[in-house]
Amino acid sequence: MKTLTEYIWFNTSKKREYINITLEVEKSLQKSEIKEGMILVSAMHITAGVYVNDAENGLIQDIDEWLEKLAPFKADYRHHRTGEDNGDAHLKSLLIHHEVIIPVTNGKLDFGPWQQVYYAEFDGQRRKRLVIKVMGE
């Protein structure tokens, strides 16, 4: 089995951003030269996430509004007693989850017709990273 590990660094300009990273994942796959296997894409921070969905701006706004309704920013999270102010970002990360596994078939991401990979940042404006782990033959 062959493996390849790569890291992508982010420093978003906004507190919350949704970044399409499909091309970066495809580049890692091509670099690995595997034909059959899988790719793990994982945010390495507890206030970020990774998901697979449609690359449609209205949907991205809907996702952001949905997450804000489920885990709104508010001053009274117990987590804020530690001096932090990002309790909502931790909860949003739990809802989106921190990683996805993508199948690889015939040297390509084995996606449905509209699927794309996104990095979701919920406590941005500072340096964070993501790991891409390609595994297969």
DSSP string, 8-75: EEE--SSSSEEEE-HHHHHHHHHHHT-SSEEEEEEESSTTEEEEEEE--HHHHHHHHHHHHHHS---T
- Whether 137 is covered by a domain: the verdict is no
Distance CA 108, CA 14 (A): 32
- Whether 136 is covered by a domain: the verdict is no
- Whether 60 is covered by a domain: the verdict is yes
CATH of the domain at 24: 2.60.120.460
Distance CA 113, CA 106 (A): 16
Mean pLDDT for 54-83 is 96
- Whether 91 is covered by a domain: the verdict is yes
- Whether 63 is covered by a domain: the verdict is yes
- pLDDT tens digit sequence for 99-129: 999 999 999 999 999 999 999 999 999 999 9
pTM for this entry: 0.95
Residues spanned by the domain of 12: 7-131
Count of domains for the chain: 1
Tokens of 86: 């990002």
- Whether 1 is covered by a domain: the verdict is no
